[in-house]
Amino acid sequence: MSETILIEHPLIQHKLTMIRNKDTGPKEFRELVDEVSTLMVYEVTRDLPLEDVEIETPICKTKSKMIRGKNLGIVPILRAGLGMLDGVLDLIPTAKVGHVGLYRDPETLEPVEYYCKLPTDVTERDLIVIDPMLATGGTATAAVDYIKKRNPRNIKLVILIAAPEGIERVQKAHPDVDIYTAAIDEKLNDHAYIVPGLGDAGDRLYGTK
């Protein structure tokens, strides 16, 4: 069974409260999402493999640790996932970036896919799929379904705010995918928005309505 990792660092929780606040405008919202995404990367990359390399300090030769291989890929789910991308790339600048585009049909609330472009060497990569909100889990499940057809080595899902319903759905469909989230909220409302949540992440990032 996959794990759900709740990242409760005080800096993340503080910034998340500012993100949730309806009076936070798009500029500040974007900056905060960026910062929280960077902070979350520490936890998400905790298990990256290390190897010894030989270097020379100004004092002597020594063996020291570096990350083994450069095999990460970041995949934002369009469009709100883009808001987290730069924050993640700040700490993993050499990662390749793919994109998956799905929207939620307003009637059926089911995801409809319209774009998918992944790194060509995706079979040699561990992917970090990013989306600020995990609501019904329909979009994330469909995105992971689609990405898995290209056989990446591993997938982690990184979310800012998750609903219990979304976590359950992803875990059921993809028991091999760990979910990293900064909050697990109470529930979904009748329009499948997370309560208390932050509203529509895409609209708040880009000032649309």
Tell me, yes or no, if 24 is annotated catalytic: no
Range in contact with ligand URA (rule: CB under 6 A) among 9-17, 43-51, 171-179, 192-200: 192-200
Instruction: Select from 118, 135, 144, 155 the one that contacts ligand URA (CB under 6 A).
Output: 135
Q: Specify the residue, 152 or 197, whose C-beta has the smaller distance to ligand URA.
A: 197
What mask of x and - would describe binding to ligand URA in positions 79 to 108, judged by CB under 6 A?
-x----------------------------
Tell me, yes or no, if 203 is annotated catalytic: yes
87-99 burial code (b ≥16 CB/10 A, e <16): bbbeebeebbebb
Instruction: Select from 36, 133, 147, 160 the one that contacts ligand URA (CB under 6 A).
Output: 133
For 126, the token pair is 């561990």
For 42, the token pair is 């520490």
Nearest to 86 by CA among 26, 166, 32: 32
Helices first, then strands: H and E counts in the chain: 6, 13
Tell me, yes or no, if 46 is annotated catalytic: no
Q: Does 200 bind ligand URA (CB under 6 A)?
A: yes
Q: Dihedral of CA 16/182/204/209: which sign?
A: negative
Q: Which amino acid is at 43?
A: E
Most distant CA atoms of the chain, gap in Å: 67
Q: Does 194 bind ligand URA (CB under 6 A)?
A: yes
**Of residues 104, 139, 178, 185, which has the active-site annotation?**
104
Binding stretches for ligand URA (CB under 6 A): 80, 133, 135, 193-194, 197, 200-202
